[in-house]
Amino acid sequence: MDVPESKRKTIILTCLPPQIYSALEDLCLPAYPEDDSVTYENIEENIMKLFKPKSSLILRFEFATIKKASNENVTEFSRRITRAAEGCKFTDRDDRMRDQFITSFNDGVTTKRLLLESEELTFEKAVEIAVTHERVTQEARQLDGSENVMIGATSLLSRTSGASDINKVKCFNCGKLGHFARDCEEKCKTCSHDHQAKNCFKRLQGLKGKGRIWK
């Protein structure tokens, strides 16, 4: 029994792994694999292209354009370098991997650190140094963040603690809570003594002289 071409096309597209389907989409552009303009034979052809071994020249070009992604850690990047070197047929494979690894960092700091090493630096040793540098940098950032949080918390605690303590203070001038005698609004301004204005002898004497109070 012959299976219609449209059905065969649907079956093969449904069975493709996501990464293969994504690569197939690129080969079918500007059309999509599901479009009627893309036949079963087109699909078959493009899939064969995907699995056709690449020449060492193409693999070397791809290897030379590798860059470390910002969300990729050093270990993951080193593994990608190793995989990319496979099939390139390098006679000096370790040196090529080391050089590509060193020049592919996007921060510049790691690259400078590795360039300070001797010419005997191997790919494995370069990865080891970069991993250590990455770990130290991350720990320093975490420590810096923790210290800032601790300083902020301590400052806030001091402010709230101070505000709480002042509410318990009793003014010996007016007897009210929440302030010291030196800050009392009822403090006498006629003399320099810490007492209430209404109890100031000097003030009372002045008022008596003006006839504003009686004996």
Reported as a single tens digit per residue, the pLDDT across 176-187 is 777 666 677 766
pTM comes to: 0.47
pLDDT per residue as tens digits for the range 116-174: 887 789 999 999 999 998 998 888 888 876 656 555 555 654 554 444 455 656 676 67
Alpha helix positions (H), 5-108 = 5-15, 18-28, 40-51, 56-64, 74-85, 93-103
Going through the chain in order, the beta strands assigned E by DSSP cover none
Question: Cα–chain-centroid distance for residue 175?
Answer: 55
Residues 17-73: pLDDT tens digits? 888 888 888 888 888 889 989 999 999 988 888 887 778 888 899 999 999 988 889
pLDDT recorded at residue 175: 72
